[in-house]
Amino acid sequence: MTNTMTQTTKSKTNFQVYSLLIIRLTLVAIFLYHGLPKAIFWSMATEKFVGFGLPGFLGPITGIAEVVASVALLFGRFWKASNLVLLFIIAGAIVTVQLPGFLENAKKVAGLERDLLILVGHITLLAFPPQKPDTK
């Protein structure tokens, strides 16, 4: 009976570990996809941020922060700080871009919904440090 309970607990724990890993990898992919162009093409990032009514210099800085925090999160390094940086960035995107866009045109709800899910993903990762699966 104890062996069966141990196996069940181990399976549940591994499922949780892999579920959190999938969330982490998905968020890393999203931020690398959106951050790399801003980090590489500074003039494009600057123009984009000015178009949102933000100071242009924030574009490249945001891109670099997204890339650095994503790579750190990918390797499980400085996971708390990385999640907080990305959480702050996505909260900023919600407040400055997605929410005003949605309030202007309710059909633009998809971007807001996506960014809210990203926000929730980072809150979830903040609650659980990266772990390795139990292989014993």
Cα(86)–Cα(123) distance, rounded to whole angstroms?
10
**Which pLDDT belongs to residue 6?**
60
Structural domain that includes position 57:
13-127
In a domain, 58, yes or no: yes
Q: How far is CA 69 from CA 50, 75, 77, 119, in A?
A: 23, 10, 9, 15
Amino acid at 97: V
In a domain, 2, yes or no: no
Cα(94)–Cα(86) distance, rounded to whole angstroms?
12
% helix, strand, coil for the chain, step of 5: 85, 0, 15
Q: How many folded domains does the chain comprise?
A: 1
In a domain, 55, yes or no: yes
Which 3 state secondary structure label does DSSP give 56? coil
In a domain, 122, yes or no: yes
In a domain, 6, yes or no: no
- Give pLDDT < 50 ranges for the chain: 5
